[in-house]
């Protein structure tokens, strides 16, 4: 980890730059970009080559919804530089993030688990790119019962652990602790470590008012953990931010490290 990282609240122009892919010509399976997703990178070369001809590198844009609650999931996504929030609706009309998926994982686990629909919404709040794969091909590969199946099952266990720990955190810990945990998990997944997200959207994924997020951010700045101004937040003291977070951050990190090769989304 670099000691100085940035959370940029404005969307850079390059984030929505098109990707040059010919639609009738599959991406070469030896593409080094495959290694930007840890699940794909962990596959044996032969399996990665076979799967690679069906992968399509696509932009994942800020605010893009990959699936809605109750909708049938037809495709899955392996993020490389994007982060996708899994959001649950609350009765009062607000939403809350139960987990996020970055370059350590896959969006759409219910498809290969047999459900094919989910109660959550998958929304891109940190734009970038990812590999898209049709559900039919993924299920065929999954039922081969090879390395991909084992990786997906272990990832799903880690994701469920993150969801459970996040719910515990939301119920029992202060907003400052939740915000610190959330920031740290975002930084773990970003390279370069720049988070593209407005305060309003951060408040939305945490299920709180924007004014509350602003108050917490000011407190962290006063403590010298971050600098904040003009839509930009710089992380000045990562150990200090970890100390202000709750034990949930370390618990989630530990589970990903235990279950996945390379394991925490770093």
pLDDT band at 151 (very low <50, low <70, confident <90, very high): very high
Residue 17 has pLDDT above 70, yes or no: no
What pLDDT, in 10s, does the model give residues 173-199? 999 999 999 999 988 887 655 576 778
Percent over 90 (pLDDT), the chain: 59
Name the DSSP class of 32. Answer: G
- Contacts by 226-235 with C-beta closer than 8 Å and gap 24+? 231/8, 231/9, 231/10, 232/6, 232/7, 232/8, 232/9, 233/6, 233/7, 233/9, 233/195, 234/4, 234/5, 234/6, 234/7, 235/4, 235/5, 235/6, 235/7, 235/183, 235/187, 235/193
Residue 235 has what pLDDT? 75
Domain with CATH 2.60.120.10 in the chain: 16-159
Residue 111 has pLDDT above 60, yes or no: yes
Domain with CATH 1.10.10.10 in the chain: 169-254
Question: Which segment of 19-28, 65-74, 93-102 scores lowest on mean pLDDT?
Answer: 19-28
- pTM for the whole thing? 0.82
> Tokens 């955190």 identify what position?
169
Residues 16-159, CATH architecture? Sandwich (2.60)
What pLDDT, in 10s, does the model give residues 50-80? 999 999 999 999 899 999 999 999 999 999 9
Q: E strands, the chain, where?
A: 5-8, 56-60, 65-67, 75-79, 83-89, 95-101, 121-126, 128-134, 194-196, 226-229, 232-235
Tokens at 77, concatenated: 């996504």
Whether domain 169-254 has CATH 1.10.3720.10: the reply is no
Tell me how far the alpha carbon of residue 156 is from its chain's centroid: 13
Residue 136 has pLDDT above 70, yes or no: yes
What pLDDT, in 10s, does the model give residues 78-87? 999 999 999 9
């Amino acid at each position: 980890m670099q000691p100085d990282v940035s959370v940029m609240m404005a969307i850079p122009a390059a984030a929505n730059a098109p990707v040059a892919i010919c639609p009738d010509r599959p991406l070469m399976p030896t593409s080094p970009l495959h290694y930007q997703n840890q699940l794909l990178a962990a596959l044996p070369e032969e399996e990665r080559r076979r799967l690679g001809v069906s992968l399509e590198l696509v932009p994942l844009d800020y605010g893009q919804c990959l699936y809605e609650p109750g909708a049938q999931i037809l495709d899955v996504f392996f993020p490389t530089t994007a982060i996708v929030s899994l959001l649950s609706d609350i009765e009062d009309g607000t939403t809350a993030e139960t987990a996020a998926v970055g370059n350590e994982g896959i969006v759409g686990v219910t498809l290969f688990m047999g459900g094919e629909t989910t109660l959550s919404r998958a929304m891109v709040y940190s734009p970038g790119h990812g590999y898209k794969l049709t559900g039919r091909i993924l299920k065929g590969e999954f039922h081969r019962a090879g390395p991909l199946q084992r990786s997906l099952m272990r990832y799903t266990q880690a994701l469920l652990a993150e969801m459970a720990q996040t719910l515990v955190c939301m119920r029992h810990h202060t907003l400052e602790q939740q915000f610190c945990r959330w920031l740290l998990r975002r930084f773990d997944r970003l390279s370069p470590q720049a988070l593209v997200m407005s305060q309003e959207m951060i408040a939305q994924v945490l299920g709180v008012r924007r004014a509350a997020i602003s108050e917490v951010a000011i407190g962290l700045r006063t403590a010298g953990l971050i600098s904040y101004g003009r839509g930009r937040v710089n992380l000045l003291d990562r150990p200090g931010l970890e100390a202000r977070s709750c034990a949930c951050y370390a618990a989630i990190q530990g589970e990903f490290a235990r279950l996945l090769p390379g394991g925490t989304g770093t």
